[in-house]
Structure formats: structure tokens, C-alpha cells
Amino acid sequence: MGGSQSIGQLWNGTLSTSGSTATVRNVAYNGSLASGARTSFGFLGSGTPATPSPTCASP
């Protein structure tokens, strides 16, 4: 994230940032799911990204 970008609200996850990278990881209550189960997270961001490049990955 650039200097004018921010995440104001986040739910169902924990946020960490390093430089221009924001990472959301699971919280205790949704870290281990049974087969076929699902979870989600969300956030509200603000700012004007020059080139948005969101990615999702599973551990």
C-alpha cells in the first residue's frame, strides 16, 4: 500500500503490513475448518492505488 492508501476496517482476519504489502491471516476461530467448510474475510480500504494487484493464497 502506498502512502495515501489504508485499510480502515477488517473482519474475520488479522492484518499485518510490511512496506507496501498488506497481509490478512486467519483468526483463532476460523483457522481450522472441516472438509467442505468455508470462511471469508473482508476489509474497507481507501486511497488511490497506482496499480492494484490483490492476490489470495492458502498456506
Cα–Cα distances in Å, from 27 out to 15, 50, 55? 10, 30, 19
45 strand-pairing partners:
7
Q: What are phi and psi of 30, to 5 degrees?
A: -130, 25
Q: So where are the chain's domains?
A: 6-46
Which H/E stretch holds residue 42? strand 42-46
**Cα–Cα distance for residue pair 12/47, rounded to 1 Å:** 22
What confidence tens digit (pLDDT) does each residue in 3-53 have?
788 888 999 999 998 888 888 998 998 888 899 998 888 999 888 866 667
Reported confidence tier of residue 54, pLDDT bands at 50, 70, 90: confident
